[in-house]
Amino acid sequence: MSNGSSLPPHRRLRGTLLVVLAAVLAAGLGGWLIWHSSRGDCGPRAGQPAPSDPAGHATGPGGSHAPGSKDSTGHGARDSLKGKVVVLDPGHNPHNNEHGRQIARQVDIGNARKECDTTGTATNDGYAEASFTLDLARRARTLLQKEGAKVVLTQDGDRPYGPCVDERAEIGNKAHADAALSLHADGSGAGNRGFHVILPARVTAGPADTAAIVGPSRQLGERLAGRFRTVTGSAVSNYIGDGTGLDKRSDLGGLNLSTVPKVFIECGNMRDAKDAAQLTDARWRQKAAHGITEGITDFLSH
């Protein structure tokens, strides 16, 4: 058998080139296999759901509720609310029942005089509306701040009672809020279910003049109702709003005295067992905070 040294020079060169080419191809194939096997930790594979946070919101690529990501309409990007001021008004106060005389004081709401504040309602098991609203406000504040907003709370468990409804409105006015939201839960009869958003009516009396905020407040309310429903899966009220989830009122000082776009949200009925099961669930409250954040972001992005 002859060896390579007896081959002509051009055949020896061709053999060498074939060996080099084979080595290059083998190295490239090995590198591709290593890359392909490792990319499974970088994100969900096709057909698999994105990872979720404790509240059930998608946090991976394509997740519409992940902090700092965009939702299906392009809103919700980190810093999308930079430069915006949002006022959250947790309804009532856990200590109002200890200060009956103070909260019974009458204040001027423009077209009437009403109590400074009230104790709010509670579930049949004793979970207070004031505790619910404060927890929800803190959750929403965290999410809104992640989007770049400056968030002001009318109270953060740091007051002995109140504040009164006129002061709640004034806090939003002095902050020059781009949007203000008062958080509540209803105390209606059993069987009455669902959430609704309260819009300011046209009121021009005494210190109240809502003429400039009726329009933008309705836009805020519509965006909020839509997002809240989508994110929480809750139905709109079956007893207020004729199936729209929207209700207009002229008897609430927090709306009458506001000079910035403002609405109330009644997140459910604490006296209905099914609604109460949601309102007392921390995971659901986190969803509610996401819905509120998306609604406000949607409004402020248009």
Closest CA to 87 of 171, 143, 30: 171
- The CA distance from 52 to 63, in Å, is 8
Average pLDDT across each block of 10 residues of the chain; the chain has 302 residues. List them in order: 44 50 48 38 32 34 38 57 97 97 98 98 98 98 98 97 98 98 98 98 98 98 98 98 97 98 98 98 98 98 87
Q: What is the pLDDT of residue 293?
A: 98
Decide if 266 is catalytic: yes
Q: What is the pLDDT of residue 22?
A: 52
Catalytic residue among 129, 170, 266, 294: 266
Whether 255 and 185 have beta carbons less than 8 Å apart is answered as no
Whether 14 and 134 map to the same domain: the answer is no
| Count of the separate structural domains present in the chain | 2
DSSP strand pairing (85-90 vs 179-186): parallel
Whether 167 and 32 map to the same domain: the answer is no
Q: Is residue 4 part of a domain?
A: no
Q: Is residue 200 part of a domain?
A: yes
- The CA distance from 193 to 276, in Å, is 10
Q: Is residue 209 part of a domain?
A: yes
Whether 144 and 237 map to the same domain: the answer is yes
Whether 168 and 250 map to the same domain: the answer is yes
- Neighbour order of strands in the sheet with 150-153: 150-153, 85-90, 179-186, 262-269, 196-200, 246-249
Question: Which CATH number belongs to the domain containing residue 92 in this structure?
Answer: 3.40.630.40
The predicted-structure confidence for 52-61, as pLDDT tens digits, reads as follows: 333 333 333 2
pTM across the whole model: 0.76
Closest CA to 109 of 29, 208, 240: 208
Whether 161 and 290 map to the same domain: the answer is yes
Q: Is residue 118 part of a domain?
A: yes
Residue range(s) defining the domain that contains residue 184: 85-300
Q: Is residue 67 part of a domain?
A: no
Q: What is the pLDDT of residue 302?
A: 82
